[in-house]
Amino acid sequence: GACSFLSKTRVIQEHGGRAVIIADNAYDNDSFYIEMIQDSTRQTADIPALFLLGRDGYMIRRSLEQHGLPWAVISIPVNVTSMPTYEIMQPPWTFW
């Protein structure tokens, strides 16, 4: 929706969440990142928060639906190559 990444993270935190993964809702987005550090407010969040591109979030949701699963444990590697992530220009969890 229209609320910021930070606002979404704060809602999860305020409801007891310990961490959050937020995916873009555009299933074909495989390159557009959002501003995650701050919005125009002075709010902060104290839990780990991760942004997934729409394509990545879609693949996870589709897999859950195909297997009839309500949730999954997702392992996100720090770096799966010998190249720094800034050189490959993709987050390390984008395999599909």
Please tell me the least confidently modeled range out of 18-22, 52-56, 89-93: 89-93
**Global confidence as pTM:** 0.60
Please tell me the least confidently modeled range out of 11-20, 54-63, 72-81: 72-81
Q: In this model, does residue 5 exceed pLDDT 60?
A: yes
Q: In this model, does residue 14 exceed pLDDT 90?
A: yes
Positive or negative, the Cα torsion across 83, 85, 89, 94?
positive
Report how far apart the first and last C-alpha atoms of the chain are (Å, whole number): 25
pLDDT in tens, 27-53: 776 666 665 555 677 788 899 888 888
